[in-house]
Structure 1
Amino acid sequence: MDLKTYWSTYPGIEGKYPKQWKTLRSAIERDKSNYITHVGDEDRGNKVIASVRDNDGNSIGDLRYTQAEFARLSSEEALNDLSIITSIPSYRHKQLLQRVFDHFIEHSEWPNSREMSIKVKDLGNYYKLAREVGYDYIRTGEEHVAGATTCLTVKSISLCENAEDDLLVFLQVLKIFTEEYNNDPIRPTVEMLELEKSNIFTLSQVDRVSLLIAEEAHLTTGARSSQGKNFTFTVAPSILEFEKVETIRDYLRVQESFKSEDESESRPRGYPIETIELAEGGIVVTPSLTEKEFDYDLFISYSKPDRVEARKIEETAQKYGLVCFLSEKSIESGADWDEEIFLQALPNSREAVFLMTPDSIKKPWIYAEWGAAKALKKRYTPILYRCAPEDLPLNMRERQARDYSDLEAFFAEVLRRKNAP
């Protein structure tokens, strides 16, 4: 399909915003997607709108700006906004997202993937369409799993019609999360049911925003729920990066910056820390610019009922000459627990392992240590004992886990990493 671009403008728009109009025009001309783009002025709500359409005239999505936002729009911002819209391959793909979202709004829960595939069969093969849209937008689970549900991300919901109210609730809850972390950076938890009791949000809004948060990266380090509802979240230290977010566009830009940081090789994971302090605003980290030795090769995070298994991890690691931090042995009587863990042990450990069991999965303290490890850019590995990868919180599944029965092979890997030049 050849790239074709033509413009239809409503009277007066170029005269009202000549500089910004040129900026938006330049961004669309730089975009490489195969779309015909109509741009017009929408009087309703005092907003400027750029409507992106495919070659059949079907709407792919809209760029919406208040006049104030449009007045300060840069070319790079416009191109970024446009790339989100045009990353959806076609009208059928956008309709797929819209129908999943419509179910989400109506039922306040994610749809069963198999049932949804039947409802949208007029669009084509459900799972193929979802794969074409991409994991950043839609997650269907495996086709052969009967109970799999389809989930959308905030990025995809921002492209759907009638999503404004839910996105506004999401932004409000984001601020509540940052406030909670600032108030208690050691054990920052938010019980979503309490938000409904506050009469600020309806129960259905709380249910939907909980499901949305569970799908988003960098917001939480753990979640507990009862049958997919009544979530309790442990807030991640990285929530502070979202403190100044005012719009969904701001939010998506912060998420993109995390992606760029994850892909960057400029600073190796686990690089030593010069200083770390528990400040009023949370954990403050200052990276060292020069390499130095660690006190520990491994920080072992565990729940007290699992201390026998934790000792086995330490004993196995010691066979490979690895030095471990195990709180029951490494913290002296009368010492300040928070200081020992967050200011001494974790910053001075090369890697961290988290013993995940049916008991520890329920413990907020595990997720506080995990959040600190992530903030310190540590390499960390979940060790699974009597639980499966799907039992882990969504955000922890981003790392390859190891089974408790495979400790020997795992510590051989750790030793190779330690001795690597």
Structure 2
Amino acid sequence: MLVRRVLAAFHEWLADDGGKALLVTGSRQVGKSFLTNTFARDNFSRVVAFDLLEQPDARDSFNQATNAADLMLRVSLASDVELVPGQTVVIFDEVQECPAVVSFIKFLVQKYDYRFILSGSLLGTRLRAIPSLPIGYVTELKMYPLDFQEFCQACGVSAEFFDVLQQCLDDLRPVPDFIYDRFIDLWHRYLLVGGMPDAVAHFVETGDMDVVRRIQGNIRQLYAQDIVKYAPDELRLILADIFQLIPAQLSRQNRRFQISDLRDVKRFTQVDQHFLWLEAAGVALPTYNVSAPIFPLLAGVKRNLFKLYSSDVGLLNSAFPKTMLSGILQPNTAINLGGIYENAVAQELHSKGYALRYFSSKKIGELDFLLEDASGQITALEVKSGVSYRTHAALDKALAEPKYTIDRAFVLAETGRGARPNIETQGQVTYLPIFFAALLGS
């Protein structure tokens, strides 16, 4: 069984006396249904669960409810389990198919001594159409693909090893070689497999990448079908183009998304809603350019200049030929893997709650990521996939610019080549192993 750290948040919700419903969101196939149902069975004596996509009779009945009492009547009639106050959890899975449930959840948690869990995909796009969102009556919990630490634990690595890595980061001392080698190998495998639970489970069980790639391809196909099924009519054709273009865009030296590559599109204003839809659906991770590395970064965001990463690096790689990906496992490969490495780092940062931003200017060059913490400190982050990771002209120029407020600068790479330590600081720049992306913000 895969260990998901988000399970702790489920238990926090259960212990909360506020009685709010739990709203579990996230893109398709990240494990929402499995984790929700497993948690419910482990913590409640009575579980009433509806899959509103697979149970059309229940869905149609609930959508006809006129108020909360009418909805609960319909729930009790549709359930094979007796609802007992104080002992029952009611799960509405794929709730995007049943807006009535979301509309009435405020009254359900106020009137009934049951716990309610709502889960679904595409909620960021579908809930906009609901006139009465239950603000203040739900605890929202967003799920992501497995991050690198969860992937490592699925591969049999003890969580204590991450404590060792964290201590190395805190003290800025090198990681022991045997640990470093193990985690670099796992990082390469994570790039191939990604974090979709089904893909990870099959990889751990069989190690068969052909099976894993079939799973990944099926998920990509499901995402494409969702665009056709759920996106507004006027957005569908271009949304499909954007989704299919993500791998090609990230293969370029300049990974900024080129609007000119879209058919019949001349200006960003023609497609701005398309990118917002993909972000809200959890399919893509836009990373916006900022005018300068100056606090607050939000004030300088240029929403028309951005990179577009995949929500999962494994899904990204499933779009590439298998022969190309063999280079990931071979050190010093001549294949440009920069976009793949950046995607994996973006995925880690996003799962930790960071807003994804970068900086690019003709005078300075490009900084891959700019992170801003709660105290307002700005960290410049460079991601290097090749051997020349100590060459970073743009970062050097940015650090030398007095008006920029960069507090820390990290280079993430496959460090420790030759006689060099795998963690070291030279001037204002600290070099860290690439897998330390999993520790930033933890």
TM-score (norm 2): 0.24
Structure with more contact order per residue of length (Cα contacts < 8 Å, sep ≥ 6): 2
Q: Which has the larger radius of gyration?
A: 1
